Every structure is written in structure tokens, then in C-alpha cells.
Amino acid sequence: MNSSQSSFTDLNDWALVYQNLQTIEQEYLSLKLKLHFKTIPNFDDFIKLYESSKIGCNEAWNHNEEIFLQLIVLSLNPRCIKNRFDWEKVQKLMPKYRSLSELCFKFQSFYKAQLPRQPWSSFEDKALLQIILDNTSRCKKKWSSIANQYNLLCKSEIPRNAKQCRERWNNKLDPQINREPWSRSEEFHFLQLLLQNGRRWADISLKLSMITKYKRRTEFALKHKFKQLQKYYGHKAKRLNKTDFEISSSLEHIGS
């Protein structure tokens, strides 16, 4: 147990935490959250739940630990009101150490509806870019670690998870993104790669970068170009020559 973690040595303090649980409205909360408990456990079971939550490796969450997290968060914020989560206090009450972002992400996974996506600010972009550029092993990015570093640095209201950080880098921040206009040669190679690989955008992006000095097109850019070509050859159907007709038929087949 981390030195900052609490224990059940002072039952009076835990009795206060447990007392707060009696105020929660499960019917109301079940509309918002996937609750892992049907009823509030009695105090003895609450203590046993704490002890059983310690079992297992540190990385994997066990079911009892998830239940305990829900109980602790709701004891501190009974109506689950946005901006009233005290993750530092939650961290101290958990049976084993979890980072603040781990606790937040795990609790977000209990929501029945997705939390609204927030646009990235220029400050957030600069922070994420700096973390990645300072990473000595940029070829082998561990996005969960990068997300943790980012959240500790930015301390934003809604943390970013590993997937959001990865997508922001791949689609916006990577200096190797090719933002130049498409050349006829690049379009031709793109068509060839589409016929060879289908809509496997990651493979196409890598292979296409070999003819553009390793500047890569994002997945979004490839999809957009694909739709442009479909539209172009579709509207020109009456004036297509034999080669154009073959391209149009191939694009129609790939798009189906």
C-alpha cells in the first residue's frame, strides 16, 4: 500500500464515509451510471469489500475494487454532480494506489451515456506535443503513460485518455503529417494502393509515405480523398474512357 493510502485503523472516520452512502438515491443514479451493486452493503461488508479490493495485481482492476470506487466516489458526491469530484480524496481512500487519471477514467467508464467531447485548446496541444517530443522512445509510444503525464501537467477539468491523445497526435500534431496539395502522381499511387489493400487506411498511409519523403497522410485525409475520387468518377460517368471506367468500377466496389 502506498504511504498516502488510508486503512481501517480509525473506524470512526470510515463510519462517517459510510454514513454519507445512506444519502445516495440509487434509482436516480442508476439512470446515469452502471452501478455494480444492487444495495448499499452493511458496514461489516463494507470493510470486507475494502480488504478484498487489495487482491490482485496492481494494474488490473478487480470487480470488488470497482464497486469500492463507486461507493467512495458517491459517498463524497452523492448525486454525482459534475465538477464536484475530489479525486485526490478518493485516491487516499482507495485500498491500493491508483493515479488520479486512472480513477477518473475508470469512473467515467461507469456512465451509461458518453461524456461530451471537448475541443482541444492550443495550450493542450502544446502540452501534448512537448510530452511526445520529449519522449526518448518516440517510436514505441505508450499512450497510457503519455495520457497520465498529460493529465498531471494540464490538470484539465475533463482528462484525456490514451485513445484521445493518440488520435490527436496522429491526426493533428505529428510533424510528419503531409498537408501539401495532392499531386497527380500521389493520387495515382493512392488508387493503386486502394485496389491492392482495400480500405486499410493505416497500411495505405505507410506505403504512400514512401513516395512522399515519409510525409504521411492522415486517415481522415485518405478517407476524404477516397470520397472525392468516388464523387469525381461518378459524376463523369458519361464521359469516361475505358481506363476511367475501370477506376470508377473499382472505387464503387471498394466503397461497397
- Three-state SS annotation for 202-239: HHHHHHHHCCCCCCECCHHHHHHHHHHHHHHHHHCHHH
* Residue 161: φ, ψ to 5°: -95, 180
Region of 196 please: left (phi>0), alpha (psi -120 to 50) or beta: alpha
Residue 1 in any domain: the answer is no
Question: Looking at the structure, do residues 190 and 161 belong to the same domain, yes or no?
Answer: no
Of all residues in the chain, what percent carry a pLDDT higher than 90?
A: 29
Euclidean distance between CA atoms 189 and 168, whole angstroms: 26
State yes or no: pLDDT of 160 exceeds 80.
Answer: yes
- Angle between the N-to-C axes of helices 43-52 and 11-21, in degrees from 0 to 180, rounded to the nearest 10: 110
State yes or no: pLDDT of 13 exceeds 90.
Answer: no
Question: Looking at the structure, do residues 160 and 192 belong to the same domain, yes or no?
Answer: no
Question: Looking at the structure, do residues 193 and 169 belong to the same domain, yes or no?
Answer: no
Q: What is the pLDDT of residue 238?
A: 42
Residue 5 in any domain: the answer is no
Structural domain ending residue among the three candidates 110, 140, 156: 110
State yes or no: pLDDT of 216 exceeds 90.
Answer: yes
State yes or no: pLDDT of 8 exceeds 80.
Answer: no
Residue 74 in any domain: the answer is yes
Break the chain down into helix, strand, coil percent, rounded to 5: 60, 0, 40
Residue whose grid cell is 487519471: 101
State yes or no: pLDDT of 130 exceeds 60.
Answer: yes
Q: Is 139 helix (H, G, I), strand (E, B) or coil?
A: helix
Per the structure, the count of domains in the chain is: 3
Euclidean distance between CA atoms 113 and 106, whole angstroms: 14
Please return the burial class of 96, using the count of CB atoms within 10 Å of its CB with bins 0-12, 13-18 and 19+. middle
Mean per-residue pLDDT over the chain, rounded = 82
* Residue 164: φ, ψ to 5°: -65, -40
Question: Looking at the structure, do residues 127 and 154 belong to the same domain, yes or no?
Answer: yes
Q: What is the pLDDT of residue 256?
A: 54
Question: Looking at the structure, do residues 95 and 34 belong to the same domain, yes or no?
Answer: yes
Q: What is the pLDDT of residue 222?
A: 92
Question: Looking at the structure, do residues 151 and 234 belong to the same domain, yes or no?
Answer: no
Question: Looking at the structure, do residues 28 and 89 belong to the same domain, yes or no?
Answer: yes
CA neighbor of 93 nearest in space, from 2, 204, 199: 2
Question: Looking at the structure, do residues 196 and 247 belong to the same domain, yes or no?
Answer: yes
Residue 64 in any domain: the answer is yes
Q: What is the pLDDT of residue 180?
A: 93
Range of the domain at 206: 184-253
Residue 49 in any domain: the answer is yes
The pLDDT tens digits of the residues spanning 190-214 come to 988 988 888 899 899 999 988 888 8
Residue 199 in any domain: the answer is yes
Euclidean distance between CA atoms 46 and 169, whole angstroms: 43
Q: Give every CB contact of residue 19 below 8 A, 6+ residues apart in sequence.
A: none
Question: Looking at the structure, do residues 196 and 148 belong to the same domain, yes or no?
Answer: no
Of all residues in the chain, what percent carry a pLDDT higher than 70?
A: 79
The pLDDT tens digits of the residues spanning 42-94 come to 988 988 888 888 877 677 888 999 999 999 999 999 888 877 889 999 999 99
Question: Looking at the structure, do residues 88 and 152 belong to the same domain, yes or no?
Answer: no
Q: What is the pLDDT of residue 252?
A: 57
State yes or no: pLDDT of 111 exceeds 50.
Answer: yes
The listed range with the strongest mean pLDDT (108-122, 202-216, 235-249) is 202-216
Residue 69 or 32, more confident: 69
Segment (H or E) for 21: helix 11-21
Residue 166 in any domain: the answer is yes
